């Protein structure tokens, strides 16, 4: 069975962007050194390999921070320019100020500006070529969806919102969405549809179908599997696209689908995780000592009240601890009782908004991390009164307390605002995804996205 071979998976796209970025930068530097009066990065020097490796490392690191490898950003003209500008600016600054691993500063300081242009312009040109040539349906996955009419709309919307898949048709018991090609399940020839359209992936949900139809589907799916077609359940596909567990997992048999990551009992991982907590907390506390005079003045002028405040929060295994924060609301913010903070909350002061956007209000929690009550990464700790209410309406809410709460977390970098019970449930599903998939790479990804949040003032 012939399958579409020209598509680029999400991971392949990101790898392509990174590899070509490094390639065009190296070629541009070589051409500039060979044919222009640019000798800051001299290819005749014995250290050239080391210098290029440092440039590549900086490029990849700051590219992640400034979202150069975010595929949504890579398909937006304005965001491409912004991300490339900031990425190369950071690379240039760090490269210039680390002469012990990079070339000595050139006598002609204009060479630094040339260095910036030699890096940024080729990357920008390549990114526009990528957007116009490779971000097309030809290079998307060709998807076939099979599902009951009661669930098909959710499946179809998931494909549309993802933006990296091309839906060929959907097979169901009846038509659900008028603007998509529909095939009736009893009249469908799944093998023929897959062969004719070079289907890359089949997404299937058997929930809602009768036992008779499910038996027929299983026979056809086995046949496709034998021919090498990639078959995925709706739940697996949902996790890959959204990076959170599907709502269907929050059921009485949740344990079938939600398990601890193997790293939850891995002593090496846990020791490394705790070491990183301590190191980052010490650095954070030193940084706090440096900015506290400015925060004090800002609080004195714009907040007019206590600088710090403490609140009880629920930690690991439901243990109550007291969290420390910089005050960002008016002093009588909760005179009528505890309520969730909302977007554009009128109780937040002007200076408090700055503290929240930059996440400076969270810095005192490094003390809680040093004490072992919190971690750098984990579900955000909630107040006991909120937890009680949430646990009553979302029966599986307390599962998030199996690990230490965090200063930042997977839910925070993916879904910052949660003002309703439905939104709280969505954030819970992000937290449970982290607990289920917890690993060093995911922790690093959260740290990078947190830095991005701070730099682009996306904090709440």
**Mutual angle of helices 440-455 and 267-298, in 10-degree steps:** 10
Decide if pLDDT at 337 tops 70: no
Selected residue with higher pLDDT from 366 and 227: 366
Residue 396 to residue 385: CA distance in whole angstroms: 16
Distances (CA, A) of 101 to 88, 91, 173, 300, 305: 18, 13, 64, 44, 47
Mean pLDDT, residues 136-161 taken together: 80
* Percent with pLDDT over 90 in the chain: 41
Q: Report the pLDDT value the prediction gives residue 333, as an integer from 0 to 100.
A: 65
pLDDT digits (tens, 9 = 90+) for 64-123: 999 999 888 888 889 999 999 999 999 999 999 887 888 988 888 899 999 999 999 999
Decide if pLDDT at 459 tops 60: no
Q: Report the pLDDT value the prediction gives residue 306, as an integer from 0 to 100.
A: 85
Contact between 70 and 19 under an 8 Å Cβ cutoff? The reply is no
Residue 174 to residue 183: CA distance in whole angstroms: 8
Q: Report the pLDDT value the prediction gives residue 121, as an integer from 0 to 100.
A: 96
SS3 content of the chain, % helix, strand, coil (to 5): 60, 10, 30
Contact between 419 and 374 under an 8 Å Cβ cutoff? The reply is no
pLDDT tier at 54, thresholds 50, 70, 90: very high
* Percent with pLDDT over 70 in the chain: 93
pLDDT tier at 193, thresholds 50, 70, 90: confident
Mean pLDDT, residues 48-77 taken together: 92
Where is average pLDDT lowest: 126-135, 163-172, 199-208, 285-294?
163-172
pLDDT digits (tens, 9 = 90+) for 317-329: 999 999 999 888 8
Decide if pLDDT at 361 tops 80: yes
Decide if pLDDT at 194 tops 60: yes
Q: Report the pLDDT value the prediction gives residue 425, as an integer from 0 to 100.
A: 92
Decide if pLDDT at 4 tops 60: no
Mean pLDDT, residues 215-227 taken together: 84
Decide if pLDDT at 278 tops 90: yes
Residue 262: count of CB within 10 angstroms of its CB: 10
Q: Report the pLDDT value the prediction gives residue 456, as an integer from 0 to 100.
A: 74
Q: Report the pLDDT value the prediction gives residue 185, as an integer from 0 to 100.
A: 82
Q: Report the pLDDT value the prediction gives residue 455, as an integer from 0 to 100.
A: 77
Residue 52, SS3 per DSSP? helix
Q: Model-level pTM?
A: 0.83
Greatest mean pLDDT range, 1-10, 135-144, 159-168, 347-356:
347-356
Q: What angle do CA 26, 41, 43 make, to 5 degrees?
A: 70
Distances (CA, A) of 280 to 253, 377, 408: 38, 11, 13
Mean pLDDT, residues 393-412 taken together: 91
Tokens of 393: 């309406």
Residue 329 to residue 348: CA distance in whole angstroms: 4
Residue 429 to residue 411: CA distance in whole angstroms: 8
Contact between 409 and 377 under an 8 Å Cβ cutoff? The reply is yes
Decide if pLDDT at 229 tops 80: yes
Mean pLDDT, residues 405-409 taken together: 94
Residue 408: count of CB within 10 angstroms of its CB: 23
Distances (CA, A) of 108 to 26, 38, 98, 445: 22, 10, 18, 38
Mean pLDDT, residues 282-308 taken together: 88
Q: Report the pLDDT value the prediction gives residue 157, as an integer from 0 to 100.
A: 79
Contact between 124 and 81 under an 8 Å Cβ cutoff? The reply is yes
Q: Which CATH class is domain 140-242?
A: alpha beta
Residue limits of CATH 3.40.50.1380 in the chain: 140-242
Residue 348: count of CB within 10 angstroms of its CB: 21
Mean pLDDT, residues 392-399 taken together: 88
Residue 342: count of CB within 10 angstroms of its CB: 14
Mean pLDDT, residues 427-455 taken together: 90
């Amino acid at each position: 069975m012939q399958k579409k071979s020209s598509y680029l998976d999400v991971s392949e796209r990101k790898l392509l962007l990174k590899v070509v970025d490094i390639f065009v930068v190296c070629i541009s530097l070589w051409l500039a050194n060979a044919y222009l009066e640019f000798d800051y990065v001299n290819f005749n020097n014995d250290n050239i390999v080391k210098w290029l490796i440092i440039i590549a490392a900086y490029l990849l690191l700051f590219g992640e921070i400034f979202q150069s490898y975010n595929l949504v950003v890579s398909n937006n003209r304005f965001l491409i320019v912004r991300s490339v500008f900031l990425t190369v600016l950071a690379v240039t600054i760090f490269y210039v100020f680390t002469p012990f691993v990079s070339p000595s500063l050139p006598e002609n300081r204009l060479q630094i500006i040339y260095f910036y242009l030699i890096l940024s312009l080729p990357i920008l040109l390549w990114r526009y070529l990528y957007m116009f040539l490779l971000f097309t349906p030809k290079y998307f996955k060709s998807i076939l969806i099979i599902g009951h009419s009661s669930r098909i709309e959710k499946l179809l919307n998931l494909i549309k919102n993802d933006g990296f898949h091309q839906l060929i048709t959907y097979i169901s018991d009846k038509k659900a969405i008028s603007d998509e090609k529909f095939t009736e399940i009893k009249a469908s020839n799944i093998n023929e549809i897959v062969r004719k359209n070079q289907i890359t992936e089949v997404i299937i949900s058997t929930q809602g179908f009768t036992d008779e139809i499910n038996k027929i589907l299983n026979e056809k799916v086995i046949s496709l599997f034998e021919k090498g077609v990639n078959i995925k359940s709706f739940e697996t596909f949902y996790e890959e696209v959204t990076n959170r567990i599907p709502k269907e997992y929050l059921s009485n048999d949740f344990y079938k689908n939600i398990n601890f990551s193997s790293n939850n009992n891995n002593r090496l991982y846990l020791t490394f995780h705790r070491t990183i907590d301590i190191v980052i907390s010490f650095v954070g506390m030193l940084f706090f000592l440096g900015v506290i005079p400015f925060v004090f003045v800002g609080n004195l002028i714009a907040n007019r009240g206590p600088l710090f405040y403490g609140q009880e929060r629920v930690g690991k295994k439901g243990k109550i601890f007291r969290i420390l924060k910089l005050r960002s609301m008016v002093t009588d913010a909760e005179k009528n009782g505890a309520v969730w903070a909302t977007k554009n909350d009128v109780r937040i002061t002007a200076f408090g908004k700055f503290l929240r956007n930059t996440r400076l209000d969270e810095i005192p929690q490094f003390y809680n991390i040093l004490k072992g009550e919190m971690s750098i990464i984990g579900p955000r700790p909630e107040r006991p009164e909120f937890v009680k209410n949430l646990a009553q309406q979302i029966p599986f809410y307390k599962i998030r307390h199996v690990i230490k709460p965090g200063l930042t977390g997977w839910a925070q970098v993916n879904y910052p605002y949660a003002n309703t019970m439905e939104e709280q449930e969505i954030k819970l599903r992000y937290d449970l995804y982290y607990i289920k998939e917890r690993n060093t790479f995911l922790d690093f990804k959260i740290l990078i996205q947190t830095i991005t949040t701070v730099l682009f003032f996306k904090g709440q």
